[in-house]
Amino acid sequence: MAPRVRAEQIAGVVYIDGTARVQTVDAATHPAFAALIGNFHRLTGVPVVLNTSFNDREPIVETPAHALATFQASALDALCIGDYLVTKT
């Protein structure tokens, strides 16, 4: 299944043919992630977050230490690891 989506709202998740690979989150199984998506929706009006590999031209991140090193070298503003939110100042 490849549903058509509105690219102007979520350009980063839309393929060139106007479709997206949708994954759903069960709030009972993953309450923290469901809450994050809900809060993002309330703040932005967009009920979608992008799930992608975290590697920035390197092997995919596998440890918190590697995630922090990759984050510091990236253009990202924030990184969430478990219950922790790391931001650049």
Identify the band that residue 6 occupies on the pLDDT scale cut at 50, 70 and 90: low
Rounded (5°) CA angle 52-53-59: 170
Model pTM score: 0.64
For residues 2-28, average pLDDT: 78
For residues 16-36, average pLDDT: 90
pLDDT tens for 31-64 read 999 999 999 999 988 888 887 778 778 888 899 9
Per-residue pLDDT at 66: 92
Per-residue pLDDT at 5: 56
Residue spans per domain, the chain = 26-87
